[in-house]
Amino acid sequence: MLLKTFGWSFAVTALGLVAALLYGGWTGFGIVAILSILEISVSFDNAVVNAGILKKMNAFWQKIFLTVGVLIAVFGMRLVFPVVIVAISAKIGPIEAVDLALSDKEMYEQLVTDAHPSIAAFGGMFLLMIFLDFIFEDRDIKWLAWLERPLAKLGKVDMLSACIALIVLVVASMTVGAHAHQHGGVHVDKAQTVLVSGVLGLITYMIVGGLSGYFENKLEEEEEAEHEAEEEAKKSGKPVTAVAMAGKAAFFMFLYLEVLDASFSFDGVIGAFAITNDIVLMALGLGIGAMYVRSLTVYLVRQGTLDDYVYLEHGAHYAIGALAIILLVTIQYEIHEVITGLVGVVLIAGSFFSSVVRNRRLGASGGERTGSHEKAEVSSGV
């Protein structure tokens, strides 16, 4: 079961790490390994969400998601998107960006370093919005209850996430943005660049969230229409055209999944710039991670264990929040990529072990692991 589900991921990992070793030596090998772990850790919640939707789709659309969807995820978001980011931020053409990345790494590194304030501000604000929207939502399951309970109460204030994000952006533009790190170790005033790029990051988050909500609403409408049609068919004695309706609903499911995947891909792609500017190593590391996210989605669907480790989603979002702050700090200060990569791993590991302890405690007391029975006992006690 494990080999069948993760076989392609294991194969891609072996090929990717060998390619990284040949391309960048042991340093390249280490960077790709860290990027892979980072992508898996920050995208675990994406796998959980995907699995919850994928299990509703028929075998045909599941196969489409795992084939066409993989191509979009790996080659579209993890390979093309980083090139587009560099091209836009450095004001050069995409072809020129790829050519510089492969043929003139020193010039490419200089362009990326000089463009880093705008990249970090854009990505930092996008990731910060994901984190804030998560922690301000009232959830039955709480990991750090002492922190999440009061934040959930504050989250009842409309537009609080956007207000806090804008305050953070203004402060960042006036502090680290005013002394942005540039190629050669010099510092220049990039306050306006940081401010504009951060606002664009917020706008992008709102657009992606709006599209996701649109497809989710369309999906609900299709499912409701399908249910009504089935009821009408039963009353009139006519055959139910379930295939056509299921296909239409599944199509919207597929679109919704791709928008969701794109939104969760931003954090891994943007976060990768905090670890390396090498487009080849970035594509290898994020590609490996994306394959594991897809395999993990299938595994969760087949095993039916989506709710076993309930704090993992919390750990992933705390990792996203930490990465957002790190990106903003790197506008002025250099932070070693090992520290950046390990922050997410530590938070994910902590949430995993908290989930294991909770499951053992509930198992010993004969309680249910998840569900409405847990509303009185929803935290790990941390």
pLDDT at 127: 83
Q: Give the whole-angstrom CA distance, residue 263 versus residue 153.
A: 26
For the ranges 197-211, 291-305, 321-335, the lowest mean pLDDT is seen at: 291-305
Average pLDDT rounded to a whole number, residues 340-364? 80
Residue 323 neighbours by CB distance under 10 Å: 29
Task: Give residue 283's pLDDT.
Answer: 82
pLDDT of residue 374: 45
- One-letter amino acid of 263: S
Average pLDDT over residues 187-208: 86
At residue 325, does pLDDT exceed 70?
Answer: yes
Encode pLDDT of 12-62 as tens digits.
889 999 999 998 888 889 889 888 887 776 666 667 667 767 776 777 777
For residue 246, being part of any structural domain is answered with no
pLDDT for res 63: 77
Instruction: Quickly state the pLDDT bin for 316 (edges 50, 70, 90).
Output: confident
214 pLDDT band (50/70/90 cuts)? confident
Q: Smallest Cα–Cα separation from 267: which of 78, 54, 118, 110? A: 78
In a domain, 215, yes or no: no
Confirm whether 379 is domain-assigned.
no
Question: Cβ(277)–Cβ(26) under 8 Å?
Answer: no
- At residue 18, the pLDDT reads 93
- Let me know if residue 327 belongs to a domain: yes
Percent of residues, the chain, with pLDDT higher than 90: 6
Q: Which of 179-188, 210-219, 284-293, 367-376 has the highest mean predicted lDDT (pLDDT)?
A: 284-293
Asked if residue 24 belongs to a domain, the reply is: yes
Average pLDDT of the residues of the chain: 77
Q: Tell me which of 76 and 241 has the higher pLDDT.
A: 76
Asked if the structure places residue 314 within a domain, the reply is yes
Distance CA 363, CA 370 (A): 11
Closest CA to 70 of 54, 88, 94: 54
Using a pLDDT cut of 70, give the percent of the chain over it.
78
Q: Which residue has the higher pLDDT, 194 or 303?
A: 194
Is residue 367 domain-resident?
yes
d(CA 114, CA 92): 13
Span 106-120, average pLDDT? 77
Tell me: the pLDDT tens digits for 363-373? 777 654 444 44
Residue 56 lies in a domain: yes
Tell me which residue range forms the domain holding 354. 2-209+264-374
Asked if residue 1 lies in contact with residue 250, where contact means CB atoms within 8 angstroms, the answer is no
Lowest mean pLDDT among 90-94, 255-259, 314-318: 255-259
Does residue 67 register a pLDDT over 80?
no
**Which amino acid would we find at residue 63?**
K
pLDDT value, residue 380: 45
pLDDT of residue 171: 92
Query: For residue 376, what pLDDT band results from cuts at 50, 70 and 90?
Result: very low
d(CA 9, CA 373): 37
CB 81 within 8 A of CB 89: no
Q: In this structure, how many other beta carbons lie within 10 angstroms of the beta carbon of residue 198?
A: 29
Interval 224-275: pLDDT, tens: 777 777 777 777 766 655 444 355 666 777 777 776 677 666 666 766 766 7
Domain count of the chain?
1
